[in-house]
Structure 1
Amino acid sequence: MTRHSLQQPAIILIRPQMGENIGAAARAMWNFGLDHMRIVDPRDGWPSQKAVAMASGAGRLLDEARLFDTTAEALADTTFVMATTARPRDLTKPVYSPEFAMAEAARRIGTGQKVAVMFGPERAGLENDDIIRANAIISVPVNPDFPSLNLAQCVLLLSYEWQRQLGEVGQPAAQVTKSEWASGLEVEKLAEHFEQRLDTAGFFFPETKAASMKVHLRNLWSRMPLTKADVQMLHGTMRQMARWKERG
Structure 2
Amino acid sequence: MTGRARGAEIGPVGENTPVVILVRPQLAENIGAAARAMANGGLFHLRLVAPRDGWPQEKAWRTASGADRILEAATVHATLADAVADLHRVFATCPRPRHVIIETMTARGAAASLRDVAARGLRSGILFGPERAGLLADELAHADTLVQVPLNPAFNSMNLAQAVMVMAYEWWTAADSTPPARLVTNETRVATKGELENFFRHLTAELDACGFLRNPQKRPGMLRNIRAFFQRGEVTEQELRTLHGIVTELARGRRVLGRIEPDMLMDDEPA
Report the TM range for the smaller structure's normalisation.
0.5 to 0.7
- Pairwise CA distance, 1:168: 4.6
82-91 or 114-123, larger mean C-alpha shift: 82-91
- Pairwise CA distance, 1:60: 1.1
* 1:42 maps to amino acid: P
Match of 1:36 in 2: 45
Aligned-partner Cα distance in 1 for 2:14–2:25? 22
Q: Show structure 1 runs of 5+ residues with no match.
A: 170-248
Match of 1:222 in 2: none
Residue by residue, what CA displacement relative to the aligned partner does 1:6-35 show, whole Å, maximum 9, x if unpaired? 131001000000000000000011112211
In the alignment, structure 1 residue 59 sits paired with structure 2 residue 77: no
In the TM superposition, 1:90-105 aligns within 5 A as 90-105=99-114
TM-score, normalisation: structure 1: 0.65
2:115 to 102, 106, 123: 106
1:148 to 152, 157, 166: 157
Residue by residue, what CA displacement relative to the aligned partner does 1:52-109 show, whole Å, maximum 9, x if unpaired? 1111210111000111011000000001000000003321111000011010000011
Bigger Rg over Cα:
2
Change (3 A) 1:89 1:82: same
Aligned-partner Cα distance in 1 for 2:167–2:42? 12
Q: Show structure 2 runs of 5+ residues with no match.
A: 1-10, 179-271
Aligned-partner Cα distance in 2 for 1:93–1:10? 20
SS of the residue corresponding to residue 24 of structure 1 reads: helix
1:87 to 96, 100, 104: 96
- Pairwise CA distance, 1:5: 3.4
How many residues were matched structurally? 168
**Higher relative contact order at CA 8 Å, sep ≥6: structure 1 or structure 2?**
1
Aligned-partner Cα distance in 1 for 2:150–2:130? 19
- CA-based RMSD of the aligned residues comes to 1.6
SS of the residue corresponding to residue 17 of structure 1 reads: coil
Match of 1:115 in 2: 124
Aligned-partner Cα distance in 2 for 1:168–1:68? 36
160-169 or 92-101, larger mean C-alpha shift: 160-169
Q: Which runs of 4+ in 1 moved over 3 A?
A: none
